[in-house]
Structure 1
Amino acid sequence: MAGHRIFSTSVASVYPHYVAKAERRGRTREEVDQVICWLTGHDEAGLREALEDQRDLETFFATAPAMNPNASLITGVVCGIRVEEIEDPLMQRIRWMDKLVDELKGRKAMTAILRGSAG
């Protein structure tokens, strides 16, 4: 069975939307990068490489150095779905990333977004 079409979407195509959403609320590209790197274990260079090579979301998460062990603490609703109830692991990771950016947009403190860690 083929995966959801979002799986083959490039990180580079969703990234500008994340940045724009955050910047509309006074947050920065650096903060978007920080939450994505916190979630995936990618460093800044790894994130840039994924953006430059048009890596799809499935590959981006498959090649993530280490998903943050506190990612399971990310809860709430994205697109009408509770992220903690998503059964497909890849879809859950994508929605976790969406949720983190939504929390940036909501002006939460970075320590709260990163579930108590400094990043």
Structure 2
Amino acid sequence: MNILTAIIDGFVDFVRRNPILCLAILLLVLFAPSVAGGIAMFILYFILGIILLGVILMLSLRWRINRARRQMEEQFRSGGQNGSDPFSGRHNPQEGDIRIHKMEGSGEKRVRKDVGDYVDFEEIGNDSEQKTH
């Protein structure tokens, strides 16, 4: 019962806020019912189309997430069974083996060799501590 009174109160509030629009709709319904019916059908189809589009997008997103989840599970299973890295496809080296791979394009230093020197420094307390001693 409360829902029905809430709907009626909402409708009355809409009429109070928009009296000219409500009068135009009433006159349209009285004097041109086919036009009003056409507009009502257009609005109905538009709303149903938006709802249908939302459902399709939601199902598409759910399908894509499930597909990505299955692919990650397959990569994890294949990586866990044969001891290889599922992301690189290479076999893991034995413990203690060290391999260094040079990256393509990483050659010489980008800074000239004669630029700058390394300075070894030692931190000493701040000025306030030095004045007190």
Same fold (TM over 0.5): no
> What is the TM-score normalised by the length of structure 1?
0.23
Larger Rg: 2
Q: Give the number of the structure with larger relative contact order, counting CA–CA contacts within 8 Å between residues 6 or more apart.
A: 1
